[in-house]
Amino acid sequence: MGKKAQRKRSVKAVKEFKHVWSPAPSVAAAVDAVAAQVRAAAMTKGWAALGTPWDSFTKRYPTVADAIAAAEDTGALTCFAVDDWGEYERGVRRGPDGWSYEVTLYPCAQLRDLVKTCWLSADDRDQAVEQLRRALEGYVPAALRRPEIEVVHRPSTTVMPRIGWTQRLPVTGLETWEDVHLAEKDLPLHDLATAAAGDLDGQRYTSTVLARTVALFRSHGLSAQACAGCGMAVTDRHPHWPGVWTAVDREFGPTCDRSRLARTESEQRVGHVVEEADARPAQALTGQEPTVVCRNCGAQVSDQHPDWPGTWAGAGRHSDPVCAVAGSMGGDDAGEYDLLDCVYPHVPEGADSPAAAAIAAARQARYFLQH
Ligand SMILES: [Zn+2]
Ligand SMILES: [Zn+2]
């Protein structure tokens, strides 16, 4: 199994693990304490365990001076590399005081999803970048704030902004990447890795966005929303699902498992709701509704399902508006970080869909891979 697949499985396993243990807070607290130790161990050995992008980078540029020479024209040369618990960009950058080694930590898990949904929901997305920058400054626990850690906006591979916490080291005295490793490993930036991986509720990680984080993002003018049914960050302005509350993860999209309300996942997925009062039980088609075929997956779909009015959803027993055709599971780590999501709507044969153009564009950008 490749590293990426392992990471995906690891993320999924942690999520499932949290679901399993969530009904028993005292047990969960103990389990989360162990999980925190595992995370700390993973961070400690993180450099050696970093994936191939960084290995390739340091092979291609064997010394710091080689990387700086290659970056002479552009002013920066960086490498995005993911380990099991953090998403980092490392490299060299020219600033007012000359060249420095720079390491940037990006939000992951539900915190990254909150950044994405806030940006998608914004009326003014340029302004939202600055609002997000400030929200991520405010997100850092007071005890971990340092003047030398900045929140920066860096180029991304898609329209989605890439915003993270960064710290720099002067390159004076840094010749080899081992020198860099030794100089970097105790940077206060790394203390943020736990927070960057998502919300902590006391000692416990949650797989949801906490109300206090939603409130923080709103206090910076952002339209932050979390689903009352499952706690995921949601937006109703996703280009593939306009007007439908949608998560931007790799799996759920516009579907909710109601795990926050029921404490266990519902077998039948329903729509996300931002008000708990709107969380009705799942409904069903009568079987009399007209159906058409999805042009991408071949399923029979209807836009008259009571759980998904106006949205094309599968007409089978467990109706689902997520097309069976997978979104991108490929691309490099850098591209994957910037993806909007990896689930797509059904697009009916012979009928129009607001998602069709977005899917065509995504396919052109190689973010929609058909099998
Ligand atoms: Zn939900
Ligand atoms: Zn389909």
pLDDT digits (tens, 9 = 90+) for 324-333: 776 555 455 6
228 C-alpha to center of ligand 1: Å? Answer: 6
pLDDT digits (tens, 9 = 90+) for 225-264: 999 999 999 999 988 888 999 998 877 899 998 888 876 6
Q: Name the β-bridge partners of 89.
A: 80, 104
313 C-alpha to center of ligand 2: Å? Answer: 8
Q: What is the model's pLDDT at position 11?
A: 39
267 C-alpha to center of ligand 2: Å? Answer: 20
- For the residues 116-120, what does the mean pLDDT come to? 95
Q: What is the model's pLDDT at position 147?
A: 96
222 C-alpha to center of ligand 1: Å? Answer: 20
Domains held by the chain: number:
1
> Which residues span the domain enclosing 66?
46-196
Query: Is 143 within a domain?
Result: yes
Query: Is 227 within a domain?
Result: no
Q: What is the model's pLDDT at position 201?
A: 63
66 C-alpha to center of ligand 1: Å? Answer: 48
247 C-alpha to center of ligand 1: Å? Answer: 8
pLDDT band at 100 (very low <50, low <70, confident <90, very high): very high
64 C-alpha to center of ligand 1: Å? Answer: 46
Indicate the SS3 state at residue 102: strand
Q: Which ligand is nearest to the CA of 321?
A: 2
Neighbours of ion ligand 2 (CB under 5 A): 294, 296-297, 323, 346
pTM exceeds 0.75:
yes
184 C-alpha to center of ligand 1: Å? Answer: 39
pLDDT digits (tens, 9 = 90+) for 183-197: 998 899 999 988 888
Which is it for the CA torsion 158, 161, 164, 168, positive or negative?
Answer: positive
Angstrom CA distances, 337 to 58, 110, 342, stand at 21, 13, 11
Residues 6+ apart with CB under 8 A from 191: 144
Q: Which ligand is nearest to the CA of 348?
A: 2
The single-letter DSSP state of residue 80 is E
244 C-alpha to center of ligand 1: Å? Answer: 12
252 C-alpha to center of ligand 1: Å? Answer: 9
295 C-alpha to center of ligand 1: Å? Answer: 27
Put the strands of the sheet holding 76-83 in their side by side order. Answer: 76-83, 86-95, 98-106, 162-170, 150-154
Query: Is 239 within a domain?
Result: no
294 C-alpha to center of ligand 1: Å? Answer: 24
161 C-alpha to center of ligand 2: Å? Answer: 29
Query: Is 279 within a domain?
Result: no
Other CB atoms within 10 A of residue 295 CB: 18
Share of the chain above pLDDT 70, in %: 73
233 C-alpha to center of ligand 1: Å? Answer: 8
Q: Is the pLDDT of residue 352 over 90?
A: no
219 C-alpha to center of ligand 1: Å? Answer: 23
Query: Is 176 within a domain?
Result: yes
Query: Is 340 within a domain?
Result: no
pLDDT digits (tens, 9 = 90+) for 153-169: 998 877 789 999 999 99
Q: What is the model's pLDDT at position 333?
A: 60
Query: Is 283 within a domain?
Result: no
102 C-alpha to center of ligand 2: Å? Answer: 43
Query: Is 70 within a domain?
Result: yes
258 C-alpha to center of ligand 1: Å? Answer: 6
Helical segments of the chain, H only: 3-21, 25-44, 46-49, 52-60, 64-70, 109-121, 125-139, 177-184, 193-196, 211-219, 259-262, 333-338, 355-364
